[in-house]
Amino acid sequence: MKVNGTDYRTVWAEGHTVRFIEQNRLPFAFVINTTSSYVDCCHAIRTMQVRGAGAIGALAGFAMALACHEAPEKDPDYRKFIGNARSEIEATRPTARNLFHATELVYAAGLESPEKAMAAAQQVADRDASDSQQIGEFGNPLIRDGAGILTHCNAGWLAFVDYGTALSPVYKAHREGKKLFVYADETRPRSQGARLTAWELHQAGIPHLIVPDNAAAALMAKGKIDLVITGADRIAANGDTANKIGTLERAIVAREFGIPFYIAAPTSTIDPACPTGSEIVIEERDEEEVLYQEGPDAQGTMHRILVCSPGSHALNPAFDVTPAKYITGFITEKGIVEPEEIMKLVEARHASP
């Protein structure tokens, strides 16, 4: 996607150097970070400098490849080093399936050689971008001219290597000249909707409004919302889906008002080893993300301020699980399917080159 007229991916490699867009600085500053260390990549994932299922997966893959290059050349030290590195990478964000998908593939390649590990990591990133583009192709017909679309969290191109998932159909529809309007939930406490989704939509020239997280039901009651599309961080074998906290509420309310609720995600987000949503590990993040907010003053200097009752504590689950019964369908790179067909997509992915 373009930023100030230049095409960027969210995460990419140049030799043994990895570059990524620092999402914590957006939308106030566009900064690209550079590293050749898998430990730095772990820190970037853990601190949400890179966030979003596909972007996390791509950076985790590159981190695994960097670890292979950093490891001692001879066994058993080589295998021990990359095995420990894999565990460290996978501990950064326990809910995101794409992270584990990437480390599995790159680790297996790394057992053969560091060069094959980097090639595998690049393949993970390239496929993430192509899958996201296909999601836009399949999701576009769902968006009628004049539609109002609600999103939650950010599942645009910043959340993936390129194109995105929930926003990929929106970008495709916009390029085709359809008139549409996007309502972007703030998505507290990290405000991904207000900071990232809105920034993306503004860059693309797509009409939109940032709306409070608790405004969805009122907007639906007024007939403003025709379609809800969100991303996913992990999809269980039965179709239960983990996504940013608050997604479950949108799905329940959408069902009440008869509004289609779609999950847009590549098949790499499906976890066939996870039977239902109850087995998905939900990441609990630091309470300070709820208690404090950060932003610039008039001079552009960033400040962090307390916005809650001093002395009070906060609960900060990063995700919730939406049962499959509330999901109209999944928009994937293989097409649109209903929840009960989700495992067929896993088989199709393994069958494809």
Instruction: Tell which of 90, 110, 131 closes a domain.
Output: 131
Instruction: Tell which of 81, 106, 131 closes a domain.
Output: 131
Instruction: Tell which of 115, 131, 147 closes a domain.
Output: 131
Average pLDDT of span 185-205:
96
Q: Which DSSP letter does residue 317 get?
A: B
Which tokens go with 199? 């920034």
**Can you give the CATH number for the domain in which 314 is found?**
3.40.50.10470
Domain identity same for 241 and 263: yes
Which tokens go with 204? 């693309």
Confidence (pLDDT) at 350: 60
Across all residues in the chain, what is the average pLDDT?
95
The strand pairing partners of 304, in sequence order, are 294
Contacts (Cβ under 8 Å, ≥6 apart) of 189:
289, 290, 316
Q: Examine the pLDDT at 276 and tell me if it is beyond 70.
A: yes
Q: Examine the pLDDT at 5 and tell me if it is beyond 70.
A: yes
Total domains in the fold of the chain: 2
**Can you give the CATH number for the domain in which 98 is found?**
1.20.120.420
Average pLDDT of span 13-24:
96
Query: pLDDT (tens digit, 9 = 90+) per residue, 137-176?
Result: 999 999 999 999 999 999 999 999 999 999 999 999 999 9
Q: From the candidates 128, 131, 185, 233, which is the catalytic residue? A: 233
Q: Examine the pLDDT at 178 and tell me if it is beyond 80.
A: yes
For residue 202, the enclosing domain spans 133-351
Residue type, 164: G
Domain identity same for 264 and 237: yes
* 233 is a catalytic site residue: yes
Q: Examine the pLDDT at 314 and tell me if it is beyond 70.
A: yes
| Contact predicate 139/227, CB 8 Å | no
Backbone angles phi, psi at 30, to 5 degrees: -100, 110
| Contact predicate 56/50, CB 8 Å | yes
Domain identity same for 171 and 84: no
Confidence (pLDDT) at 346: 75
What's the pTM value of the predicted model, to 2 decimals? 0.94
Q: Which DSSP letter does residue 277 get?
A: G
Confidence (pLDDT) at 2: 84
Confidence at 349, pLDDT banded by 50, 70, 90: low
Confidence at 226, pLDDT banded by 50, 70, 90: very high
Closest Cα partner for 68 from 40, 18, 102, 106? 106
Domain identity same for 109 and 164: no
Domain identity same for 160 and 119: no
Confidence (pLDDT) at 352: 59
Domain identity same for 169 and 235: yes
How wide is the angle at C-alpha 237 spanned by C-alphas 234 and 240, nearest 5°?
A: 60
Q: How crowded is residue 181: how many other Cβ atoms within 10 Å of its Cβ?
A: 15
Domain identity same for 84 and 196: no
Domain identity same for 278 and 191: yes
Task: Give CA–CA dist 202/193, Å, rounded.
Answer: 12
Domain identity same for 246 and 347: yes
Domain identity same for 43 and 92: yes
Domain identity same for 116 and 141: no
Domain identity same for 95 and 211: no
Query: pLDDT (tens digit, 9 = 90+) per residue, 65-75?
Result: 999 999 999 88
Query: pLDDT (tens digit, 9 = 90+) per residue, 329-344?
Result: 999 999 999 999 998 8
Q: Examine the pLDDT at 353 and tell me if it is beyond 60.
A: no
